[in-house]
Amino acid sequence: MADSFDLVVIGTGPGGYVCAIRAAQLGLKVAVVEKNGTFGGTCLNIGCIPSKALLHASEEFEKAAHHFAELGIEIGAPKLNLPRFMAFKDEGVEGNVKGVEFLLKKNKVTAFRGVGRIAGPGKVEVSGEGGKQAIETRAIVIATGSDVTRLPGIEIDEKTIVSSTGALKLAKVPGKLVVIGAGVIGLELGSVWRRLGAQVTVVEFLDRITPGMDGEISKNFQRILKKQGMEFLLSTKVTKVEKQKGGLKVTVEPAQGGEAKTLDADVVLVAVGRVPFTDGLGLDEAGVRRDDRGRVEVDDHFQTNIPGIYAIGDVIRGPMLAHKGEDEGVAVAEIIAGKAGHVNYDVIPNVIYTSPEVASIGKTEEELKQAGIAYKTGKFPFTANGRAKANKTTEGFVKFLADAKTDRVLGCHIIGTNAGELIHEVAVLMEFGGSSEDLARTCHAHPTLAEAVKEAALAVEGRAIHM
Ligand code: FAD
Ligand code: NAI
């Protein structure tokens, strides 16, 4: 007889495993299905965690090479041990994926290893090493995540023409790295290899980097990355990548067409976005609807057009972010358990883990203008912050956008050291519908970088103290 559950989650990325744990906490009998050898999905195995480990290690390397002397620490030129550097990353991944395995066991979630296929409402079939297994369930959550977007004619071999997956494990530092796409992956992983010695050129189709980010922040970000040695070819498209003796030849031309030129490269990183992953799931046979971008269509309660089949994370609409998937996982588990699960999409932080970091939440200035919403701006530079001055980490600024009439905070954008941590006090503020004055009147410890956030909030009413 088939095993029977209240809920079967297909995929154990941040969306899936969090959903399984929350559902188990609420007393449901839960199973997960995972085709990969380890749990944790893209994020833990080939995404957030390994990329952040490499960003951390390469930042320390760059500090040792260029900044320690300024602090009076003389160590000579640091030497890179790339195998050890990669082992550091792998240990971080291992610790995290084992953590998920432990949590699933602790919460008594049953794990099936293999490819999950929806064999009809309430029916999942798992194809694993031991053959096929049928599972019966009251509800199914699709949490199968996303995959790399490929460019026609440019074949990724994960050795010299790589996606983020190959770029996380290059066997040596490339002399020349060409990155296609000035989005999050291109700039994070481009930073890693530049710090280790690669000459990095980023080719971007649009006329700006990080589309979607507040324009003023984006301009400053590009200026800072340029100063660090990253080169940009904006409004440019890659038309060909050819393998030749001793490397690659990359042909580029203006985005709107025009004269072509070539660039030499040792490695090309294709980082032009990700697409929802639904291969082998049996969605068409099950009648589950997808939109024109291949995303599983869901309603406000994460339910697809087929009752009892839900979807969350990268495979549905919205930003492809781990924490967005996690929150959806919690919400859908609560909904399935008969509670009122909900995700506030207006308050989802977005962080780029470069140096300095870039963090944002809520609306950009461009979005407010387009929506015709009257707003006030408050800005404060880290050059005027005591802690940043003492540490000589003065690059960047904090920018608040508040409703012109009510002062309710509508967005906040930070470029600077630890921006990814600083953004969260604004997240809490916005979750409570707070005003810039609420934050400005909150006592902040001195000396902290967070004081720059408070000062930017004060600046909304033109009353920053240290500026
Ligand atoms: P995934 O994490 O993709 O997990 C899906 C899982 O489903 C996988 O384990 C897969 O094996 C499994 N699966 C798929 N189909 C089946 C099937 N039929 N049967 C069984 N199992 C199946 N986001 C951030 O928020 N912060 C970051 O710093 C960040 N860094 C990133 C860096 C890189 C290089 C990349 C590529 C992504 C990064 N992301 C980051 C994005 C983040 O990884 C994703 O948003 C997140 O992993 C999505 O979670 P998910 O649960 O929807 O899917
Ligand atoms: P992205 O969507 O961030 O950026 C892709 C870039 O490529 C865009 O600037 C786009 O204009 C450009 N582009 C598209 N086609 C092109 C072409 N043919 N030629 C040149 N440029 C082209 O996608 P990316 O960087 O691949 O990341 C994928 C997803 O992973 C993102 O949605 C992001 O949410 C997630 N991610 C999040 C991270 C974080 O939160 N720190 C880190 C890494 C990834």
Domain of residue 36, CATH code: 3.50.50.60
Q: How confident is the model at residue 216 (pLDDT cuts 50, 70, 90)?
A: very high
* % of the chain surpassing 70 pLDDT: 100
Cα 238 to ligand 2 centroid, rounded to whole Å:
15
Cα 54 to ligand 1 centroid, rounded to whole Å:
18
Are both 229 and 283 inside the same structural domain? no
**Any residues with Cβ below 6 Å from ligand 2, and which?**
151, 180-186, 188, 203-206, 211, 237-238, 271-274, 319-321, 351-353
Output the pLDDT for position 2: 76
- Per the structure, the count of domains in the chain is 3
| 409 pLDDT above the threshold of 90 | yes
Segment 340-366 shows an average pLDDT of 98
pLDDT one-digit tens code per residue, 95-115? 999 999 999 999 999 999 999
Handedness of CA 190, 191, 195, 200 (dihedral sign): positive
Q: What CA–CA distance (Å, rounded) separates 243 from 7?
A: 48
Segment 307-321 shows an average pLDDT of 98
Q: What CA–CA distance (Å, rounded) separates 34 from 48?
A: 19
Helices 82-106 and 48-66, packing angle to 10 deg: 140
DSSP string, 415-431: EETTHHHHHHHHHHHHH
Are both 284 and 216 inside the same structural domain? no
Output the pLDDT for position 67: 94
**What is the span of the domain harbouring residue 260?**
161-272
Are both 237 and 281 inside the same structural domain? no
Q: Is 344 among the domain residues?
A: no
Give the CB-side neighbour count of residue 284, counting CA atoms within 13 A: 3
Segment 286-314 shows an average pLDDT of 97
The yes-or-no answer on residue 446 being catalytic is yes
Output the pLDDT for position 268: 98
Are both 198 and 187 inside the same structural domain? yes
Ligand 2, atom nearest to 237 Cα: 19
How far the first Cα of the chain sits from its last, in Å, is 72
Are both 190 and 241 inside the same structural domain? yes
The rounded mean pLDDT for the chain is 97
pLDDT one-digit tens code per residue, 56-82? 999 999 999 999 999 999 999 999 999
Are both 323 and 384 inside the same structural domain? no
**Any residues with Cβ below 6 Å from ligand 1, and which?**
10-16, 33-36, 41-43, 47-48, 51-52, 115-116, 143-146, 164, 185, 277, 280-281, 313-315, 320-323, 325, 353
Q: How confident is the model at residue 87 (pLDDT cuts 50, 70, 90)?
A: very high
Output the pLDDT for position 262: 97
Residue nearest to atom 14 of ligand 1 (CA): 144
pLDDT one-digit tens code per residue, 186-200? 999 999 999 999 999
| 293 pLDDT above the threshold of 90 | yes
| 178 pLDDT above the threshold of 80 | yes
Q: Which of 239, 255, 272 is the last residue of a domain?
A: 272
Output the pLDDT for position 130: 86
Are both 308 and 366 inside the same structural domain? no
Q: How confident is the model at residue 140 (pLDDT cuts 50, 70, 90)?
A: very high
Comparing 356 with 1, the larger pLDDT belongs to 356
Cα 274 to ligand 2 centroid, rounded to whole Å:
7
Q: Residue 164 CA: which ligand is closest?
A: 1
Output the pLDDT for position 112: 97
| 44 pLDDT above the threshold of 70 | yes
Residue nearest to atom 41 of ligand 1 (CA): 321
Highest mean pLDDT, choosing among 2-6, 128-132, 325-329: 325-329
Are both 132 and 38 inside the same structural domain? yes
pLDDT one-digit tens code per residue, 369-393? 999 999 999 999 999 999 999 999 9
